[in-house]
Structure 1
Amino acid sequence: MDSNKIEMFKGLNVLRLLDSIGESLIFADENQIIRWMNVPAKELLTKIGPFVKINDPEDFIGVNLSMFHGPRQNGILAGETFPHTAHIKLFNRFSAKIVVDKVFSETGDFSGYVLTWKDVSDFQQELEVQQNMLKSLYTPIIGTAIDSVLLVALTGLLTEERMQYTKDAILLACAEKKAEYVIFDFTGIVDDIDDVVVFHLDQIAEALRLMGSEAIFVGLNSQFVQQMIRKGLKVRVKTCQSFKQGVNYVWSKMGYKLVKI
């Protein structure tokens, strides 16, 4: 339907309407030079502008769109398929979903482009958040029926980064709980290990010893042990075949015994 025939569009303030739209809109002429942007786009450019040393979003007026796009996106602008949707990275810091379309005059002449930026996110910040979330899942440190005994359930792949975080988390938990024994359960570990990981494990055990706690390794499967033997790796701790044996060892050391009621 022709918008000129709709009563509500007569005398409409187009710029005010574009400012009220929640998406960031950037308009460029046929030479891809930015000519106008709405308020949400200005707010967005205020955030990302400092990464290209532009603090005032108004200073983006007159800038070529190539500042935001690489050769592939420039090729798209020169093509004929519109509207075009793509995901881009901005200044190696932000990611965004963009929709590019052509703009035409009332007479149907091509007059430029409109870019709609959606879902703009700081992927570096998101990565840090995700890494912090993963760290919290790296190594569960679980309390047991005896307050002074902690269980460290190791699963998946042991890496140097993970072991460094694990070491810090265990020592902190041990100090807070005043743990006398820390049982490390390796039942869920089946991947190959290297000497750096074993070095960290040995360091953790030694640090616990200096804190007055004893580390106990349980659930070391045959594959895990064979790898350590082949590589000449050693850890100086008490080992048990299963978690049950480890618990029985701790109970005997503490003077407890399991009695059927």
Structure 2
Amino acid sequence: MAYQLEETIKDTLNCLEENIFFIDLDFRVGWMNEAGKKVIDSIKAYLKLERAEDLIGTPIGWFHKNPSYQEEMLQRGDFPIDMQLVLFNTFVTRLIVKKLVVRGQELGYLLTWKDITEREKEKEKTKALINELSTPVLQTIADHTLLVPLIGELTIERMETLTSKLLNECLSSQADYVIIDFSGVTHLQDTEAGHEIQKLTDSIQLMGAEVLYCGFPKEMVKNMVSLGVETNQLSFVSFRNAIRYVVSKLGDRINNDNQN
């Protein structure tokens, strides 16, 4: 027979604002405090329960796509256990599990359920904002010429964000030249991120703009060579040299147009 929590323990746990669940030695939900009932009531439609109390007796594996995973973690006994789950592709929960030992006897486990859905959403928004701010696309003194100053670590995610943003900018500004400045790059993550640079370049050129590189740090050049990333793009030591090249090309085009 599974252990039933003593009333004094229940009273103590009900005084806490945290959502606490008692898991018995058969790995079933044996009890929940009042705060726990409220959180279950808030998602009972997803759980297909009429009331929170209907959760009592449910195996904890019911919450996980791999039912035996949580039981195996408890059996390993590496406490406290701190895990994060996404429920119904909607709720993000942090579960902290500790052993319940009363008068030297192990009676089960206490699980604290923290809803961190909003916090995770804010983290994603912040991450997206950082990506946006760290991949600026700027106008230059030269007509129809864009500057992309890359800063920090180059990751696949950042390069994908930049590609989408830059293609839109090329279209709206009718760009003829795009200068990608690598002088602020601190690290190239891996080979795939390096290949994303070439994919970005190819995409821009398909839209009719010429891509110029400038400002490669020495360490990044070594890193690209060691990763086997190759590029045949025209490259300059600095942005100043790159923009001079663009201005001279635009000047030649204007002169040719006047002569014609």
Number of residue pairs matched by the alignment: 226
> Per the alignment, in what secondary structure is the counterpart of residue 36 of structure 1?
strand
Q: Are the equivalent residues in 2 in contact too, given 1:96–1:119 (CA < 8 A)?
A: yes
1:88, CA displacement in angstroms? 2.3
Matches within 5 A, 1:236-247: 238-247=234-243
Q: Which of 30, 34, 54 does residue 35 from structure 1 map onto?
A: 30
- 1:86 & 1:226 partners in 2: Cα distance? 39
Q: TM-score if structure 1 supplies the norm length?
A: 0.60
What residue in structure 2 maps to residue 6 of structure 1?
none
Output the aligned Cα RMSD.
4.7
- Return the letter of the residue paired with 1:244: R
Deviations 1:157-203 (A, max 9, x none): 55555433322111122334454432111224575757833541431
User: CA distance change for structure 1 residues 231 and 30 in 2, over 3 Å: closer, same or farther?
Assistant: closer
Q: Identity percentage over the alignment? A: 25
> Per the alignment, in what secondary structure is the counterpart of residue 17 of structure 2?
coil
> Per the alignment, in what secondary structure is the counterpart of residue 35 of structure 1?
strand
1:146, CA displacement in angstroms? 6.0
What residue in structure 2 maps to residue 132 of structure 1?
128
What residue in structure 1 maps to residue 201 of structure 2?
202
1:232, CA displacement in angstroms? 9.4
Q: TM-score if structure 2 supplies the norm length?
A: 0.60
1:86, CA displacement in angstroms? 2.8
- 1:117 & 1:124 partners in 2: Cα distance? 18
Q: Does 1:224 align with 2:221?
A: yes
User: CA distance change for structure 1 residues 240 and 29 in 2, over 3 Å: closer, same or farther?
Assistant: closer
- 1:153 & 1:249 partners in 2: Cα distance? 17
User: CA distance change for structure 1 residues 242 and 58 in 2, over 3 Å: closer, same or farther?
Assistant: same
> Per the alignment, in what secondary structure is the counterpart of residue 63 of structure 1?
coil
What residue in structure 2 maps to residue 73 of structure 1?
74
What residue in structure 1 maps to residue 53 of structure 2?
58
- Return the letter of the residue paired with 1:224: V
- 1:244 & 1:156 partners in 2: Cα distance? 21
- 2:152 & 2:112 partners in 1: Cα distance? 39
User: CA distance change for structure 1 residues 253 and 162 in 2, over 3 Å: closer, same or farther?
Assistant: same
1:58, CA displacement in angstroms? 3.0
What residue in structure 2 maps to residue 88 of structure 1?
83
User: CA distance change for structure 1 residues 125 and 71 in 2, over 3 Å: closer, same or farther?
Assistant: farther
Matches within 5 A, 1:1-261: 21-28=16-23, 33-45=28-40, 54-56=47-49, 57-65=52-60, 69-74=70-75, 76=77, 85-90=80-85, 94-100=92-98, 102=100, 112-113=107-108, 115-121=110-116, 129=125, 132-133=128-129, 135-136=131-132, 139-144=135-140, 148-155=144-151, 158=154, 160-189=156-185, 191=188, 196-197=195-196, 199-209=198-208, 213-220=209-216, 224=221, 233-235=230-232, 238-253=234-249
Structure 2: tracts of 5 or more residues without a match? 1-7, 64-69, 252-260
User: CA distance change for structure 1 residues 115 and 171 in 2, over 3 Å: closer, same or farther?
Assistant: same
User: CA distance change for structure 1 residues 63 and 54 in 2, over 3 Å: closer, same or farther?
Assistant: same
Considering only CA atoms, is the larger Rg found in Structure 1 or Structure 2?
1
Deviations 1:74-114 (A, max 9, x none): 4549xxxxxx633124478755242535376xxx7979556
